[in-house]
Chain A
């Protein structure tokens, strides 16, 4: 019987932990999440059902530790040469069960990339923050606070805007940063975050790359306020809300990499954001395949299983095609991030752009084909018992976040066609 494991995973790319942790996360997904996920939408505020599953994955299985160096209790993924492919697999397995959980899980590492990855490992900050994540069996969440009320895309449009629209300010007073500003939408906000990585400017309006600052702010610092989570179309397992920073003081060494380097390495964060997005799409598609295979074998037209109808089989084929291609694409990008010797640094413009290319291709294809698969299921496509509509709702935001589709298009055009004014 064909299963999701018959979709190609390029064998020469897989990381040493791929199979082992892949299996563990698959079991967790099948036992802890898939039987309950239908009730997650109603749990969007409280997370009474969702939280124990997070505790299991991130705390008890320990996956929230993976990025930190081994001697600090982590698994050393940050300095490995398979961080891309290993994280692709992990995210994909979680997303197969629930994209919202995959996002919350993945985003916990997002700001930590700034300090845990070679060659810009910040040992002092790793030592300071590792215990928070590595010495507990409870899920601990971090957030990457970029988006502001006036717009998210502009902040991510780094090559052109260069941080000039950032309104959240960081002012050095003695050996402390004083942070003021209003962020909204970060994954893992809405009250659950323990550690924020905050995108700030040291000089509002400036396009000097040295003024772009990435500063860590523990959520319990005086002056940090987290608003309630927003209600959304999907992604119930991800809480998003407002965060206000009002004269928040943190030590000066909480700046991740320093002037110029914060800007440079933040582009690596963007690359990993795109990789994660493709993994979320790939994982969701794998599960859509499982669902529709079951549906098309247990519903009948002209007394034959639906999959035996030529017209319906055409749609099923398109789903398999897109899943296969997106997965291969995701692994290819993962490998490109893993092999700077072959593809260049993860923060270079080419790799950031190619991440955007693959991400918006994957999102557009996935949403289109899932829409068609839902249609094939007739009314059952919208019936929450089949879970397919959940993937459709959840994935829509993967297409919209990180600056949205148009930013992906502009960055792609800019790089490939060497445009100068976009």
Chain B
């Protein structure tokens, strides 16, 4: 936790009971994403990139290789890389799920969809309005904002399960009847109709996740520049810093280890 230790711990403005200095900006730092969450994020991002490239090439193979069949194994390697990345993706997901149980409450956010929480929906629409340039300022969040949480829940929490289930069902066709993949996931094939349908849905799943990634990376870069809190560095160091004295909207259930403030 180097960033925290480096920062000079000074009381926040509220604690000192003073108003924010007119020209200054306050910096508050809260440790949000623990190591397993960050490691998983980048491993997972890499796995998805590899899976998408190899998956696309499985459906649309490269031009034919010259020479004897015995001297080439291009499609074999592409499929091998897909399956290797698939195992990393699947095991990583299980690990992330475990961390949601034992980690801090930010680690649980990815798997939560607070459907009955009217307040949450209200903030989600507020965030959406901000993206539509209808709000002057977004709220500050220590964790994910509701709109981000919503899309992460559907594209990554649900989307990963979908890709793992359909992926291992396809894998079971090669592994053969009676393999563990077949016993665990073989039922998926008749559920979708037949093998071709599972291929189609698995393929559409890739595009759904890729759409999320496009929007996600854009939003991360944009927020990093435009918003009043740190974004990209947070997924690297784990620490969220705020450039504003306003209290984050989700701070009520927050117990920061340390709050630091520094004149901007």
Q: Are A and B genuine complex partners?
A: no
